[in-house]
Amino acid sequence: MITSALQTARKAYQPKLPPVLRQGPGAVKLQLGAPTESIADSQKVRALFPLTYGQPVAEFVAGATASGGPLTVGVVLSGGQAPGGHNVIAGLFDALKAIHPDSRVLGFLGGPSGLVEGKFIEITASLLSGFRNTGGFDLIGSGRTKLEKAEQFQKARAVLEKNGAGAVVIIGGDDSNTNGAVLAEWFKAQGSMLVVVGAPKTIDGDLKTPQIPTSFGFDTAAKTYAELIGNIERDARSAKKYWHFIKIMGRSASHLALEAALQTQPNLVLVSEEIAQQGTTLAQLTVQIAQLVDARARAGKNFGVAVIPEGLVEFLPDVKKLIATLNDLLAHEGPAFEAAPDQAAKEALLRRHLAAEVAATFFALPAAIRGQLLLDRDPHGNVQVSRIETEKLIAEVVGAELVRMGSKAKYSALTHFFGYEGRCAAPSNFDADYTYTLGYVAALLVQGGRTGYIASVSHLTKGNDHWVPGGIPLTQLFNIERRHGEDKPVIRKALVELDGAPFRQLAAHREAWAKGEEYVYPGPIQYWGPAEVCDATTKTLELEQG
Amino acid sequence: MITSALQTARKAYQPKLPPVLRQGPGAVKLQLGAPTESIADSQKVRALFPLTYGQPVAEFVAGATASGGPLTVGVVLSGGQAPGGHNVIAGLFDALKAIHPDSRVLGFLGGPSGLVEGKFIEITASLLSGFRNTGGFDLIGSGRTKLEKAEQFQKARAVLEKNGAGAVVIIGGDDSNTNGAVLAEWFKAQGSMLVVVGAPKTIDGDLKTPQIPTSFGFDTAAKTYAELIGNIERDARSAKKYWHFIKIMGRSASHLALEAALQTQPNLVLVSEEIAQQGTTLAQLTVQIAQLVDARARAGKNFGVAVIPEGLVEFLPDVKKLIATLNDLLAHEGPAFEAAPDQAAKEALLRRHLAAEVAATFFALPAAIRGQLLLDRDPHGNVQVSRIETEKLIAEVVGAELVRMGSKAKYSALTHFFGYEGRCAAPSNFDADYTYTLGYVAALLVQGGRTGYIASVSHLTKGNDHWVPGGIPLTQLFNIERRHGEDKPVIRKALVELDGAPFRQLAAHREAWAKGEEYVYPGPIQYWGPAEVCDATTKTLELEQG
């Protein structure tokens, strides 16, 4: 296999551990704090997790730990790719081998289903060497199977026990770690000593609590998107004739779009959470953007850059209602819809069934978007929201609005979607170090028998020498939410907070960014060179951690 | 203005000149070789350029040049953005100031029209300092006005003379340098001593001759696209569920797509020049790609990455004929078309007017693409080929073909277009050095009075210490081509040569790339770090120069 020059050079990079871990597992001990409470609904959460609720926060401090025997630990990559996943496995491997050379890591294949079905490979030093500091999850693959049912838990237990594994590390987002906590509780309830430890993964940045300042992958993905936005800003400012609408991945939270915008200062960035809070409709948003385009045109600037979060449409109340109505309607009128031969016929059916207000929302959409709403449906017959080209939708409706308002703007729009470009980028120095540390910490939590914990590192903004590794009991992150008509204990998804420092930073500057070209060009991620270039964290982390 | 950490650090980068230029303009002299001939049609070209034809190749060698007086030189950025444009101006500025501190550089604004209209700013050291080693053309802007008419030449002459400028440096592609040669001839014919010197710019890589190994910007743009393709390959291999169709910028030549593919080894790369040579129709191409998708699916691989050059559709003989027919038809039936209220009505009109074969091509296209052909027309009423989403076209027709052939492939396609992301990227070390050297050389050519020359650097693959700077008489690059029914002297556009080393490299390996995942992940451009990472040239240059 040919590897690129960069990949070959990065193979030799030794990720930096926080000081307390640098002398190896024998020189660090687990220190437990006071018992914890869940962030909300503590009685209900306690009732659901009688055996693992309220465990103390764990911190690693200098001190001697008796050398133990070999440990065998399974590892699972769950959900979407995020830069640094391989380094979590590398950190886990190195720590376990340092604890005892006969320790083993079993990599379950294709995500949680590999654990349930007993499909795995043993991670060896030589196998791992080609994957250190690389992006992607291709070492063992990932998957979206949800570990939720007792039947799955039973199988997972049998698989782990049969292979002599005493623990499983689940690298995943809020859902996967929610399920990890349930699995930990279930193992205990069954009298099993199996340990479940999590690691906070998601480029979306929505697995975030006071104890877990950021999820891994967010740093690299945001910087990759910011590189591209910056390049496009430079092009916009040079060519002076295009409006660029750039959609940025992030299923519902706008963290990635906001972070990329804080790094690049475009003329406009939409934040779904603000739009939802203000109840802005698509029509209102369209007018706002058209007015911005018009105002710039009046100043002789027929160009600009707008950043749009992927989840936007579901936060616009009118579009949200339209989608819900369509899902209901398609459920009831499915056969008639299937029978309609083309988009025009389907739309004729809609005219008969939709209430006037909803119909108005629908028919105000460009034909291509209407097609995406009607034709691209998932296996359950629902509208595939992720297939909606929001960036084109916005570009088109703004164009129509400019005509309607009689604007003299020369409006030529180009659209972009950045997502897959960042999910598997090679991890930045920050993510490479952070993920390696998380994996190392996960091994120590396993050694300490801390089931139902998630590996954590705090004080992340102050440079690696100040990082503090530890473990957070998962139940501390829980609250109760209604899901499909049921109360469920879940890790609360962290959306952008409108009174948080990153959003306030945007709010304080966006008027100036809209009018001028205060573009910033971050350029590509650098691995060598001045520390302020290579080792900076995200603006979000910097602002949130003060 | 806030600048990014990378931009601030790069500001301090001093681009490397070839050894012979390092002691400054006083220590280098211009050495002239034998007279030259144009690459073809020499009699006709000579007749058209009686005063500038056949000049000798110029090379710069160590030696003393008497220090001259101050020079005032205009500079123009012409056409599309390319990484390094600002460094050409920086090199020009530094060399002129080294020749004499009172030398001046006038930056004409907004491209060639700035020269004709006398709109310019004086480039100063402090103004320039913020633009060294940056991407974009925003220092003075660019434009696409063609300098072709005597009236424009007259005005340009007046502007230059009025402002005391003895020369103009035109930074542009094949068209702009063609016009530069005509301008140089015209000045001479008018008895003017004004000097015209060119610099080879275009990310497309199609301004390339034995004397000019590459145009600037190609290196950076190709590496930026390769970064993104590599990231997507890693995602494809990790997620294992998508086929990615990635369109890469490059108006007609496929150099960028080919280079990016040589760097990343995707499962498929289309080369327009090969498709044209083989006369492959869209239907045939569709079957070929569907068979590849099907073959991978049979091997359990429902994923892949395909790279498509932007110019593809114009090289498919059936689509090319369709577009030409539509342009003719729209010219004749314009009013009837305008009157047709929607796409269906326009298509009904087409059914009546198109010959059966052309109609078959048209109606085999997906509805959205038909819409782009009919609705997105340029001011002359022609189909806007650049608006055709070729990547979606291919993704859709392949999907339909898989159904037709009864394939069991699970086919889920995602599409991308990379272009604007690379045009204004900050120049790689190679492009930063190359462009600075070109600008420096342009100043020396001006000093030597070499009008009708283009700055050149040869031996580019062997590291900066081996670079040989010089000047090529533009007429040497000329041949005669039919343009709009007339014989015109033009610089021959360099397309991908099917017997050239880069294409042969692809041909030798693509079967293996198609079947396996021989993906290479180049990662982002690096400015510091190991030389093999930071200073490598393109594969194209490496293979072509041996």
Q: What is the pLDDT of residue B94?
A: 98
Instruction: Answer yes or no: is A3 within a domain.
Output: no
B425 touches chain A (CB under 8 A): yes
pLDDT of residue B54: 95
Residue B63 is predicted with a pLDDT of: 94
Quick check: A247 and A415 in contact, CB under 8 A?
yes
Contact list, A134 vs chain B (CB under 8 Å): 234, 521
Q: Please tell me the distance in Å from A241's CA to the nearest CA on chain B.
A: 11
CA of B85: how far to CAs of A374, B203, B220, in Å?
A: 47, 11, 12
By CB atoms closer than 10 A (0-12, 13-18, 19+), residue B260 is buried
* pLDDT surpassing 90 at residue B336: no
Test B4 with A536 for CB contact under 8 angstroms: no
**pLDDT tens digits along B453-485:** 999 999 999 899 999 999 999 999 999 998 878
Q: From CA B253, how far away is CA B312, in angstroms rounded?
A: 9
Q: pLDDT grade, residue B227 (50/70/90)?
A: very high
pLDDT on residue B156? 98
Report whether pLDDT(B331) > 80.
Answer: no
Pair A186, A96 in one domain: yes
Q: Is B398 on the interface with A (CB under 8 A)?
A: no
Are residues A226 and A249 in contact, defined by beta-carbon separation less than 8 angstroms? no
Look at residue B191 and tell me if it is in a domain. Answer: yes
**Contact residues, chain A, for B524 at CB < 8 Å:** 6, 224, 227, 425, 524-526
Residues B185, B315 within the same domain: no
Residue A34: the pLDDT is 92
Domain annotation covers residue B530: yes
Domain that holds residue A462: 30-217+427-491
A144 touches chain B (CB under 8 A): no
Please report residues of A whose CB lies closer than 8 A to that of B536. 5
Tell me the pLDDT of chain B averaged across its residues.
95
Residues A204 and A235 in one domain: no
Please indicate if any CB of chain B lies within 8 Å of the CB of A421.
yes
From chain B, the residues in CB contact with A141 under 8 A are: 238, 240
Q: Looking at beta carbons, which residues of chain A come within 8 Å of B344?
A: 344
- In this structure, the answer to whether residues B276 and B415 fall within a common structural domain is yes
The reply to whether B201 and B76 lie within a common domain is yes
pLDDT at B412 over 80: yes
Task: Choose between B385 and B266: higher pLDDT.
Answer: B266
Predicted local distance difference test score (pLDDT) of residue B32: 97
CB atoms B524 and A526 under 8 Å: yes
- Nearest by CB to B426, from A136, A521, A527: name it: A521
A126 touches chain B (CB under 8 A): no
Closest approach of B140 to chain A, Cα-based (Å): 8
Residue A1 lies inside a defined structural domain of this protein: no
Cβ distance of B231 and A530 shorter than 8 Å: no
Tell which residue, A141, A80, A4, A224, has the closest CA to residue B519. Answer: A4
- Of B177, B172, B116, the closest CA to residue B142 belongs to B172
- The confidence score (pLDDT) of residue B58 equals 97
According to the model, what pLDDT value does residue B385 have? 81
Across the range B381-402, mean pLDDT stands at 91
Q: Hey, are the CB atoms on B5 and A426 less than 8 Å from each other?
A: no
Cβ of A4 within 8 Å of Cβ of B142? The answer is: no
Q: Does A523 touch chain B (CB under 8 A)?
A: yes
**Distance between B457 CA and the closest CA of chain A, angstroms:** 25
- Per-residue pLDDT tens over the stretch B92-115: 999 999 999 999 999 999 999 999
Q: Specify the CATH number for the domain of residue A441.
A: 3.40.50.450
Burial of residue B479 (CB within 10 Å: 0-12, 13-18, 19+) is middle
What does the buried/exposed string (b/e) look like for B328-352 if buried means 16 or more CB atoms within 10 Å of the residue's CB?
ebbeebeeebeebeeeeebbebbee
Cβ–Cβ below 8 Å for B231 and A135: yes
Residue of B424, B505, B534 for testing the chain A interface, max A β-carbons within 10 Å: B424
Assign residue A57 a region (left: φ > 0; alpha: ψ between -120 and 50; beta: otherwise).
Answer: beta
Contact A256/B at CB under 8 A? no
Nearest residue to A160 (alpha-carbon basis) of A75, A103, A87, A97: A75
Residue B189 lies in a domain: yes
How does pLDDT run across B425-448, given as a tens digit for each residue? 999 999 999 999 999 999 999 999
* Residues above pLDDT 70, as percent of chain A: 100
pLDDT of residue B503: 98
Q: From the CA of A4, how many Å to the nearest CA of chain B?
A: 5
| Least confidently predicted of A411-415, B183-187, B196-200, B370-374 | B370-374
Helices (H) and strands (E) in chain A, counts: 21, 15
Q: Do B533 and A81 touch (CB under 8 A)?
A: no
Write the CATH number for B344. 3.40.50.460
Residue A426 touches chain B, beta carbons under 8 Å: yes
Query: With a CB-CB cutoff of 8 Å, which residues 276-305 of chain A face chain B?
Result: none
In a domain, B211, yes or no: yes
Residues 6+ apart with CB under 8 A from A101: A70
> Are B191 and B307 within one domain?
no
- Could you tell me the pLDDT band of residue A340, with boundaries at 50, 70 and 90? confident
Residues in chain A with CB shorter than 8 Å from the CB of B421 are 228, 231-232, 416
Give the torsion sign (CA, B236, B239, B240, B241).
negative
The answer to the question of residue A483 being in a domain is yes
Q: Provide ipTM, 2 decimals.
A: 0.97
Question: What pLDDT digit, counting tens, does each position of A1-44 carry?
Answer: 789 999 999 999 999 999 999 999 999 999 999 999 999 999 99
Instruction: Note whether B416 contacts A: Cβ–Cβ < 8 A.
Output: yes
Q: pLDDT at residue A383 above 90?
A: no
Q: Give the number of domains in chain B.
A: 2
Query: In this model, does residue B333 exceed pLDDT 80?
Result: no
Average pLDDT over residues A413-425: 97
The answer to whether residue B204 is catalytic is yes
| Statement to judge: residues A115 and A39 lie in one domain | yes
Of the pLDDT bands very low, low, confident and very high (cuts 50, 70, 90), residue A394 is very high
* pLDDT score of B374: 83
B6, part of any domain: no
pLDDT in tens, A207-264: 998 889 999 999 999 999 999 999 999 999 999 999 999 999 998 899 999 999 999 9
According to the model, what pLDDT value does residue A193 have?
97
Q: What is the DSSP letter of B492?
A: P
Cβ atoms A85, A137 nearer than 8 A: yes
Q: In terms of domains, do A55 and A107 share one?
A: yes
Residue B235 pLDDT level (bands cut at 50, 70, 90) = very high
Q: Tell me the C-alpha distance between A184 and A190, whole Å.
A: 10
Looking at CA atoms only, how far is residue B477 from chain A in angstroms? 28
Residue of A7, A11, A142, A234 to mutate when probing chain B, most B C-beta within 10 A: A234
Please tell me the predicted confidence (pLDDT) of residue B383.
81
Please tell me the predicted confidence (pLDDT) of residue A21: 97
Examine the pLDDT at A332 and tell me if it is beyond 90: no
Interchain CB contact of B181 with A (< 8 Å): no
Say yes or no: A414 contacts chain B, CB-CB below 8 A: yes
Q: Do A524 and B528 touch (CB under 8 A)?
A: no
**pLDDT tens digits along B30-82:** 999 999 999 999 999 999 999 999 999 999 999 988 778 999 999 999 999 99
Residues of B in contact with A420 (CB under 8 A): 231-232, 235, 242, 244, 414, 416
> A235 touching B, CB under 8 A?
yes
pLDDT value at B261 more than 80: yes
pLDDT for the residue B47: 96
Catalytic residue among A175, A204, A219, A433: A204
Q: Is B228 on the interface with A (CB under 8 A)?
A: yes
User: A286-328 pLDDT, tens per residue?
Assistant: 999 999 999 999 999 999 999 999 999 999 999 999 999 988 8
Same-domain status, A324 and A235: yes
Inter-chain CB pairs, A–B, below 8 Å? 187
pLDDT band at B386 (very low <50, low <70, confident <90, very high): confident
Chain B environment of A138 (Cβ under 8 Å): 234, 237-238
Give the pLDDT confidence score for residue A485 in this predicted structure: 80
Is B381 a residue whose pLDDT tops 80? no
| pLDDT band at residue A516 using 50, 70 and 90 as cut-offs | very high
Contact between chains at A420 and B10 (C-beta distance less than 8 A): no
pLDDT band at B316 (very low <50, low <70, confident <90, very high): very high
**Among the listed residues B84, B101, B100, the one whose alpha carbon sits nearest the alpha carbon of residue B139:** B84
- Tokens read off for B484: 């709009």
Which chain A residue is nearest to residue B264, measuring alpha carbons? A4
B234 at interface of A, judged by CB pairs closer than 8 A: yes
Give chain A positions within 8 Å (CB) of B142.
238-239
Averaged pLDDT, B349-353: 88
For residue A382, what pLDDT is reported?
78
Asked if residue B469 and residue B343 are part of one domain, the reply reads no
CA distance B181 to B48: 11
Q: Clarify whether residues B448 and B357 are in a common domain.
A: no
Can you say whether residue B41 is alpha, beta or left, with left for phi > 0 and alpha for psi between -120 and 50 degrees?
left
Any CB–CB contact under 8 A between A345 and chain B? no
Interface test with A, best of B246, B410, B521, B535 (most A CBs within 10 A): B521
Q: Are residues A263 and A307 in the same domain?
A: yes
At residue A148, what are phi and psi to the nearest 5 degrees? -135, -25
Confidence tier at A486 by pLDDT (50, 70, 90): confident
How far apart are alpha carbons B60 and A227 in whole angstroms? 38
What pLDDT, on a 0 to 100 scale, did the predictor assign at position A546?
78
Tell whether the model's pLDDT for residue A467 goes beyond 80. yes
